[in-house]
Amino acid sequence: MTSLHLPPQASLPEDWDVIVVGAGSAGVAAATAAARCGARTLLLDASPLPGGELISGISLLGCLSTRGEWIVGGVVTELLDRVKALGGYIGPVFDYRALHLVCFDTELMKIAVTGLLADAGVRTLMPAFVFGFAQDAQGASVRAVHKGAERWYRARVVIDCSGDGDVSVMAGAGYEQGGAGGVLQPPTLMYRVCGVESARLLDFVRQHPEHFGLGDYPGLGMDARACAEALHRQGLPKVLLRGTHGLLKDAIASGEMYPTSVLAIVPTSLARKEVSINSTQLAGVDGTRAESVSAALAPLMAQVKQGLDFLRRRLPGFEQAQLAAVAPRIGIRETRRILGDYVLSGEDILHARKRADGIAKGGHELDILGVKDHRHETIAQGGSYDIPLECLIPRGQTRLLMAGRCISSTREAQSSARVMGTCMATGQAAGTAAALCDASPGWDGDVRSVDRTALRRRLLADGAILEGTH
Ligand SMILES: Cc1cc2nc3c(=O)[nH]c(=O)nc-3n(C[C@H](O)[C@H](O)[C@H](O)COP(=O)(O)OP(=O)(O)OC[C@H]3O[C@@H](n4cnc5c(N)ncnc54)[C@H](O)[C@@H]3O)c2cc1C
């Protein structure tokens, strides 16, 4: 057997202040924040483009609470300002169910993310798959394989933003995965369609609210019909069909549609009359196993075609719709939750619990999808909850932080904290903490010794929202 043997790339240093693994919403925020604090920051991702799920057609949840307050700022605001300058910002859209989504053009987001990282001075290395972790008294190292080399990179602190908690597991951290019996939320292959006539779609919603998910949050004080009227007035194609009633239920029963709990439509470009479709679903897929994810691709891709045919045939406004894009990868909702110094709980979320030492806020509902059902529950008074730094520190680790989907949480809490607004908030906190370690008076080589007062002060100065919300 022969293998590709190349000398290491001489131009890229091995030593960094901060290394971030994973360039999704959490990793982008972590790397940007670390670099802005003056840390020499390396960002590695297994994909060729940065963005993770930010560039798959999904809009940002968790930036606003159900009552409509902004609860996340800082890097996310800067990123959205960039999308705005590029002409791709649609802004907050209410679904008249329970959620405010910040909608944007997926293609222009790719330009915005790349520009944000470059201007912050983050050095990116991708595609680079990280498959090893080591630590000693001086720092932590990750081993990556990428075009041209297989190599160790070393830093004072490493941040695991891999979504699946890959680095933490390699470091020996404990974790939980899924619910009872290992059940996991289904993955989805997102797709986008253009040429959608919003006015026709919204007329149909107004005439037939019974087909749609509307008015879930009791605090709205509006029934489904009033919500349909308000959605119509809003004038944007943000619509949810449920697999348990109406049009979608009938199509599943007749075999016209595959089994799915939702078909969510979200605007992605007004200029292209484009929406994204979140609907394909498959049970029993384990996102931490390549063979499991690979086997899901063909059935999910077939569902894209089936879903498009259904939309064209059954949903007014979609008659002339065309497929615009399929997401670059299968979207994984749930895998590992790394056990940290504190485990965020369902009660923390549903009771909108506040903490004096919060370093990020979440505000998305409890949201556990299955192919046949959807457990969702709004936070008390449509408010927000605080996340402490302890949720970002894997138990037993000293040079490792984490942010994003894999943070320390119960299954209920993860179903809320997994959304991208919250991932960016925990990412910014982790990146700032990692960068501030060295300057902290009590820094002893353990991330726990970071100056907490300085951390919150810096986060607030950089636009993070940590106080003053419901
Ligand atoms: C179908 C679907 C719909 C969703 N809908 C919404 C929504 O409407 N709004 C919302 O806000 N959220 C939504 N979510 C949730 C949200 O998108 C994710 O939970 C969130 O993006 C996770 O962010 P992250 O940065 O933790 O991970 P990701 O965005 O998954 O990024 C992780 C990155 O790490 C990289 N990586 C992983 N392992 C390695 C490794 N070993 N080495 C190198 N790189 C690695 C990956 O390539 C990836 O780029 C949805 C999720 C799915 C799947």
For ligand 1, atom 16, which residue shows the shortest CA distance? 419
Q: Which pLDDT does position 7 carry in this prediction?
A: 58
156 Cα: distance to centroid of ligand 1 (angstroms): 25
54 Cα: distance to centroid of ligand 1 (angstroms): 7
| Report field, pTM of the whole predicted structure over 0.75 | yes
For ligand 1, atom 53, which residue shows the shortest CA distance? 331
Q: Which pLDDT does position 2 carry in this prediction?
A: 60
Boundaries of every domain in the chain: 15-89+104-181+334-461, 191-326
CATH 3.40.50.80 matches 15-89+104-181+334-461: no
Token pair belonging to 209: 């609210």
**Cα dist. 286→16, 255, 406, 408, 409 in Å?**
33, 26, 15, 19, 19
184 Cα: distance to centroid of ligand 1 (angstroms): 15
163 Cα: distance to centroid of ligand 1 (angstroms): 6
CA distance 435 to 457: 14
Q: Which pLDDT does position 13 carry in this prediction?
A: 87
For ligand 1, atom 14, which residue shows the shortest CA distance? 419
Ligand 1 neighbours, Cβ below 6 Å, are: 21-27, 44-47, 52-53, 58-62, 129-130, 161-164, 166, 188, 190, 278, 331-333, 404-405, 418-421, 423
Mutate to test the pocket of ligand 1, among 93, 125, 162 (most ligand atoms within 8 A of CB): 162
For ligand 1, atom 50, which residue shows the shortest CA distance? 333
Atom number, ligand 1, closest to the C-alpha of residue 51: 49
Atom number, ligand 1, closest to the C-alpha of residue 264: 8
Distance of CA 187 to the CA centre of its chain: 13
On whether the CB atoms of residues 192 and 307 are closer than 8 A, the answer is no
What are the 10-residue block averages of pLDDT along the chain, 470 residues in total? Answer: 59 92 99 98 98 98 97 98 98 97 98 98 98 95 95 97 98 96 96 98 97 94 96 98 95 98 98 98 97 98 98 98 98 98 98 98 97 94 97 98 98 98 98 95 95 98 97
